[in-house]
Amino acid sequence: MRLGGFLAGVPPANHFGFEDWWAGLDFQLDWAERLGWRCFVPTDFRKWGVAQQRQAVARMAARDMVLPGLGAYAYNLIHPDAATRAEHVRAVCQVVELAAELGVGSVEVVSGTYNPEWIAMYYPGVKSGAAWETFIASCREICVACRGTGVRLSLEPYFLSLLDTAASLRMALDRVDRPELAINFDLVNMVGVERYYDINALVDEVVEAVGPAIVLAHLKDVRYRPVSQVRVDEVPPGQGQVDYVHFLRRLDELGTDIPAYIEHLSELSDMVSAWEHVRHAAHQAGVRTR
């Protein structure tokens, strides 16, 4: 398994004395390599030109590191307006083209929503038969763009979206029925109140339903807050309910060298403690980190 993360909590204007983060790429890679990471997202990677991005991926590969994937989360695969949906599908296909040019093996998407406020927010009709048909058509179009490139379209689950259970992920794979389709196992995205005390079983359900299709994992944690309203918050690994020994062991049992990436942290201290927790859990689970 390729465990890793990113350089969290660095102010945009602070380049540690480098002109910019491109000039400081080797500094970042040295830092990641000392931690034992084998997947990494350099700071400002998305801001660089394609030639620089290609060089960065090659320099990472020379250190046995990979970019875990390219997210295409801004695009709505079930947008109710057909013209807008078509634009979004074309945009994802362009991300696939970029991934192929860079030698990155995954482009991640969520299913989309009917809610105009946010791409992964619940809205009436989001689980309807019509939503499924639109989603399947969108995925098949993108899979055509993936064909022969080595890039896979990776579906990321999200609570109360079209893809929020092991069964729905399995149904997506079966109904789209394209070898280019894969799964990004973001466990925390699937945890609501009703599964909060049953997370290990949820891990098992997903691995058993779609295990061979998992090509990427996001490492986060989740905490049910004791407040009057229903509230489940994303927190750094080690500060919530996820049993990382069980989670990493089940991923490792798949026998594939998938990137598993700590994301969404805003402070370097949180990344340090998260990595310490993940590394310790990996050791307890018998998972190699190098």
CA geometry: angle at 178 spanning 174 and 179, to 5°? 110
* Residue 177, both tokens: 């029925």
Tell me the β-bridge partners of 155: 109, 183
* Interval 85-101 mean pLDDT: 98
Identify the residue whose tokens are 């695969």: 77
* pLDDT (tens digit per residue) in 128-186: 999 999 999 999 999 999 999 999 999 999 998 999 999 999 999 999 999 999 999 99
* Residue 224, both tokens: 């049910």
Residues 277, 244 contacting (CB under 8 angstroms) = yes
* Residue 125, both tokens: 């009709």
Residue 118's pLDDT band (cuts 50, 70, 90): confident
* pLDDT (tens digit per residue) in 216-233: 999 999 998 876 566 788
**Whether residue 109 has pLDDT greater than 70:** yes
Identify the residue whose tokens are 């860079």: 102
User: Cα 22 to chain center, whole Å?
Assistant: 23
Query: What per-residue confidence (pLDDT) applies to 13?
Result: 67
* Residue 214 φ/ψ, nearest 5 degrees: -75, 120
Query: What per-residue confidence (pLDDT) applies to 276?
Result: 96
Residue ranges and CATH numbers for the domains of the chain are 68-155+169-179 (3.20.20.150)
* Interval 192-214 mean pLDDT: 96
Which residue, 163, 74, 182, 173, is CA-closest to 111?
Answer: 163
Query: What per-residue confidence (pLDDT) applies to 288?
Result: 80
Please give the DSSP secondary-structure letter assigned to residue 196: G
CA dist 130 and 112 (Å) reads: 13
Identify the residue whose tokens are 């944690």: 221
**One-letter amino acid identity for 175?**
R
Count the Cβ atoms, other than its own, within 10 Å of residue 153. Answer: 29
**One-letter amino acid identity for 167?**
A
* pLDDT (tens digit per residue) in 19-63: 889 999 999 999 999 999 999 999 999 999 999 999 999 999 999
User: Strands (DSSP E) along 157-211, which ranges?
Assistant: 181-186
